[in-house]
Structure 1
Amino acid sequence: MPKFNKSTARPAVSSPIHSEPAPSGRTHEGAPGYARDAKSELFLLAVTNMVGEETFYESASGRDNRYAELVRTVAIEDADWTARFLGWLRTGAHLRSAALVGGLEAAKAMAEGGVPGGRQVVASVLQRADEPGEALAYWTTAYGRAVPKPVKRGIADAAVRLYTERSALKYDTASKGYRFGDVLNLVHASAATDRQGDLFQHLLDRRYGRDESVPDSLRMILANRALRAEALDRPEALLDQDRLRNAGMTWEDALSLAGPRIDKGRLWSALIPSMGYMALLRNLRNFDEAGVPDEVAAAVAATLADPAQIARSRQLPMRFLSAYRAAPSLRWGHALERALDLSLAGLPELAGRTLVLVDTSGSMAMGFSRDGSLMRWDAATVFGLALARRCEAADVVSFSNDWQGRRSTMVFPPKRGESLLKSVDRWKSDGYFIRGGTDTAGAVARHYAGHDRVVILTDEQAHYGSDQDVTAAVPADRMVYTWNLAGYRMGHAPSGTRTRHTFGGLTDAAFAMVGLLEAGRDARWPF
């Protein structure tokens, strides 16, 4: 009888998130906890970190301090990896604050350790025109007014790349602690062209109240001033689409200038052609309430569902769910469904039978941001249901533990032809968010039935009850993938070799690694 040449034999593969083979600690709920190496811990924390936000088991300050310490440690150990990772975090994982903080902390550690490259790291994580000011505000709050040259020069490089007339009109507002002029004054950015030189001088003049005159080269700023002045007496001027666009008028400014003097439906109709993707997405309810005509709404929907626009927008998949919940009008539903599907295009297609376990314990009910509109269990549900739709056959289970008379697990029945957003609605309305403890081991043991693989979407904070890892009920020759949605320090199972692997994040970016492992190839970092 063969010992090795069996139908279940598969190549030994590895993945980048590595943990120790045996537990050295405990999860926050008392199960055996597997510590990860510094890069792995940093990756899982960074791709789920909104910075400054409380989580169920960590305070905002404790979490942020852990993140900064990990960045500094890894930046000294492997500056090249850190630079590639932080650049990807901003442009591939679409996380703004985590990338910005990481870039500054990495540059600080590199400068102190005599490691070159901090300037380039800082410049790479600043991708929007308000971010040079954000970077200075973070630095001075954390470390004072003495800014090291690599940080200063990286911010200057970003300012030269990002500061335009349009970005100045949008972001250089009195509400900011660091105005564009402050940034230019502190980092001594050198303009790339004569026209940008005129802009930089204007920004400095405006910051210090010397902007009575505007150079003729700054045509958009001049047009903006003229339109504002005219709108004071003749608000109908704000209905001219070409003038709005040429003046770089933001929708916030136009609404404020118009006040109640113009029909909101007409004003939104004029503004929509010059609005960016994110602005359209966040204003769907406003469009409905203002009575925007169907033909205008159809144009908005076409933009929202356009693959190129979705890719350029860098929206997290959860933003489409948030928009859907905020304005569930029938005229937006199909476009948002299409946008969500396209934003999850990186999810793999999996043959055979897959068990998808979605953690809906109480700790997963924490919000990603202060507004509390989206929870970690929302992300787990979206990713879990979307993945199941790409499987040849899938069983989807919500799990927690017995709590207030509820079952510890609930099997979610599929409906043929149902859209992903409607499935998420049904998950919520039919009570699949259980909100108890985290009996991961029990859920795996109860529902594993010869599946080809198991996918667990969780914060990994399994509760006490067994000294084995939570995947013990799955044979060693079957793949178990953990998708981490919180980034706490201890994992619930070993990871990185053979058939046990952990990934994470709030986008589909790292799911590509699952496809590599299924094909019998080692998975690398997604950057």
Structure 2
Amino acid sequence: MARFNTKSAKARVSSPVTSTGDTTRTYEGGTGHLRDPRSELFLLAVANFVSQQTFYEDGGARDDRFAALVRRLAVEDPRWTAGLLGWLRGDGNMRTASLVGAAEYVKARLDAGATEGPANRQVVASVLRRPDEPGEFLGYWTATYGRNIPKPVKRGIADAVRRLYSEKSLLKYDTASKGYRFGDILNLVHAAPDPAKPWQGDLFQYALDRRHHPETAVPPAGARVLAAHRELMALPVAERRAVVTAEGGAERLAAAGITWEALAGWLQGPMDKAAWEAVIPSMGAMALVRNLRNFDEAGVGDEVAASVAARLADPETIAKSRQFPFRFLAAHQHAPSLRWAYPLEKALGHSLANVPSLPGRTLILVDRSGSMWSRLSGGSQLNRADAAAIFGTALALRAADADLVQFGTGSAQVTYRTGESVLKVLDRFGDLGGTNTTAAVRRFYRAHDRVLIVTDEQAAYDHRGGPTEQIPADVPVYTWNLAGYRAGHGASGTGNRHVFAGLSDAAFRMVGLLEAGRDADWPWAD
């Protein structure tokens, strides 16, 4: 009789977030499983907004742990660490953490005299992807390590400057509110223009002039955006609103690089219906989502609103915007008009493109305990509890047969109908107190084909073992960690126990690999 070559036989697969076998206690007193340094850094990095206090961890302590892990691995495993930082700024979409990480990578390697692995200059350049980020990087470096800027940092920033600086970026980001203006950065890093861009030398000189001699700075010949902008700035205030309402006004504003942030200041008056309708065509998806309430309050017309809705419902636009799914929930909560409900639902769906359609029976457990309600960042009202509910609901709606459960001190099933709106289902989630993950698993697991738990992993003590131990060893358990605390609620890496993380849907790519019986690697691995 066959013992191993059976129809139900599956390969033993592994995933990258790996526990060491050592245990401690979670913040709630349950058994906490420690991970190797790479796994700990990855989970922290994809959830770390920097300087943001979480329910259990002070912002400063969290930042110190992040920096210490980066510095250690920059020396011990530079290729992996450089890969993480580049991915973190790209697909991971964690801007500040990647900048801080790159600075700590360079400092650690310079202090240790390390030369193997990706060059410091290369790592710095890899995380600078928006024109204001060279200044952000310098701000962090000088505040942390002083004004002595090493050559690799200067050269990496110079590489980014040549790639990022343009007429429009100069107008948008080179403002008096910045500690480091474009001209300051050019002086500090000695950035020479890109030979492939003959116009860049004149642009750099203009950036220097407007920093040091603004009263005499003149845009270079052929700089059409700067010339158009200068022409608009020269108009008397009394004549400016006429530009907005004139035929071709929207095109003229766009050609001059006038952003929605700058328009009110230029008009020196309110952003009324005409002003919004003139600037909306040149606004990006993120700006549109942030301003839906403002559009309504200004009385933006239905035709223009329809154009906004069409852009939010366009999958390519949403993919290019690289917005976290919870941003669309925030917009839905704050936009008063129902005309945005459907486009925001579509946008949310596009942002969840990687959520898999799971066959068989799936148990989905969503953590709604008190620790999940801390804000994701200082500038956001959204929290991990709502992010967890978004991902759990999206999984349930796409699965062939899913039980959707919210848990805290107690637990309860969340009802939904096939094809129902994610945003509508979210209204059925509540605040459930403590973190008794184990009890929720024991109550609702009924021979499901897999279990997914969306949580911060800070499970409370249970004398019957941790949550993942309640499930047979041959059943896959996927934990989606949304906080990056040091200890997890179960072992991971092999044996059908896997942890992934992040605030976007990108992590779901791992589920498909593991379900297909393939090992899953770090998301930036070749």
Is the TM-score greater than 0.5?
A: yes
Structure 1 residue 310 corresponds to structure 2 residue 312: no
Uncovered stretches (5+) of structure 2, i.e. residues with no partner: none
Task: State the one-letter code of the partner of 2:158.
Answer: A
CA distances 1:15-64 after superposition (whole Å, capped 9, x unpaired): 0000023x421111111111101111111000111111000111111000
Comparing 464-473 with 75-84, greater Cα deviation is found at 464-473
Structure 1 residue 364 corresponds to structure 2 residue 372: yes
Structure 1 residue 82 corresponds to structure 2 residue 81: yes
Q: 2:201 corresponds to which residue?
A: 197
Match of 1:245 among 254, 266, 288: 254
Aligned partners of 1:518, 1:73: CA distance in 2, in Å?
33
Match of 2:488 among 484, 488, 491: 491
Q: 2:15 corresponds to which residue?
A: 15
**3-state SS in 2 of match to 1:350:** coil
CA distances 1:395-444 after superposition (whole Å, capped 9, x unpaired): 0111011xxxxxx11110113432111111x224xxx222x111111111
CA distances 1:154-179 after superposition (whole Å, capped 9, x unpaired): 11111111111101111111111111
Structure 1 residue 444 corresponds to structure 2 residue 460: no
**3-state SS in 2 of match to 1:491:** coil
Task: State the one-letter code of the partner of 1:433.
Answer: D
Q: 2:44 corresponds to which residue?
A: 45
Task: State the one-letter code of the partner of 1:200.
Answer: F
Structure 1 residue 481 corresponds to structure 2 residue 478: yes
Comparing 332-341 with 496-505, greater Cα deviation is found at 332-341
Check the 8 A contact 1:238/1:254 in 2, yes or no: no
Report how far residue 374 of structure 1 moved: 0.2
Aligned partners of 1:381, 1:268: CA distance in 2, in Å?
33
Aligned partners of 1:154, 1:311: CA distance in 2, in Å?
28
CA distances 1:254-304 after superposition (whole Å, capped 9, x unpaired): 11222447x711111111111122111111111111111111111111112
Q: 1:63 corresponds to which residue?
A: 62
Aligned partners of 1:134, 1:201: CA distance in 2, in Å?
21
Report how far residue 8 of structure 1 moved: 4.4
Report how far residue 329 of structure 1 moved: 2.1
**Identical residues among aligned pairs (%):** 56
CA distances 1:160-207 after superposition (whole Å, capped 9, x unpaired): 111111011111111111111111111111111342111111111111
Alpha-carbon RMSD: 1.6
**3-state SS in 2 of match to 1:454:** strand
Task: State the one-letter code of the partner of 1:11.
Answer: A
Q: 2:105 corresponds to which residue?
A: 106
Structure 1 residue 346 corresponds to structure 2 residue 347: no
Report how far residue 89 of structure 1 moved: 0.8
The aligned runs of 1:46-195 (5 Å cut-off) are 46-112=45-111, 113-115=113-115, 116-192=118-194, 193-195=197-199
Check the 8 A contact 2:209/2:217 in 1, yes or no: no
Q: 1:385 corresponds to which residue?
A: 393
**3-state SS in 2 of match to 1:234:** helix
Report how far residue 470 of structure 1 moved: 1.8
Task: State the one-letter code of the partner of 1:476.
Answer: A
Q: 2:211 corresponds to which residue?
A: 207
CA distances 1:199-245 after superposition (whole Å, capped 9, x unpaired): 11111111123452412232212211211221513021234112101
Relative to the length of structure 2, the TM-score reads 0.95
Distance 1:231 1:353, change over 3 A: farther
Q: 1:405 corresponds to which residue?
A: none
**3-state SS in 2 of match to 1:233:** helix
Aligned partners of 2:95, 2:393: CA distance in 1, in Å?
26
Report how far residue 85 of structure 1 moved: 1.5
Q: 1:25 corresponds to which residue?
A: 24
CA distances 1:91-149 after superposition (whole Å, capped 9, x unpaired): 10111111111111112223333225111111111111110000000001111011111
Q: 2:419 corresponds to which residue?
A: 417
Match of 2:450 among 448, 453, 456: 453
**3-state SS in 2 of match to 1:123:** helix
The aligned runs of 1:208-227 (5 Å cut-off) are 208-214=212-218, 215-227=220-232
Q: 1:504 corresponds to which residue?
A: 501
Report how far residue 349 of structure 1 moved: 1.5
**3-state SS in 1 of match to 2:423:** helix
Distance 1:97 1:409, change over 3 A: same
Q: How many residues align?
A: 514
**3-state SS in 2 of match to 1:178:** coil
Check the 8 A contact 1:304/1:310 in 2, yes or no: yes
Structure 1 residue 279 corresponds to structure 2 residue 280: no
Task: State the one-letter code of the partner of 1:199.
Answer: L
Comparing 308-317 with 231-240, greater Cα deviation is found at 231-240
Check the 8 A contact 2:186/2:204 in 1, yes or no: yes
Comparing 177-186 with 408-417, greater Cα deviation is found at 408-417
**3-state SS in 1 of match to 2:359:** strand
Match of 1:258 among 267, 285, 289: 267
Check the 8 A contact 2:210/2:217 in 1, yes or no: no
Check the 8 A contact 1:231/1:237 in 2, yes or no: no
Relative to the length of structure 1, the TM-score reads 0.94
CA distances 1:295-317 after superposition (whole Å, capped 9, x unpaired): 11111111122222112111111
Distance 1:78 1:446, change over 3 A: same
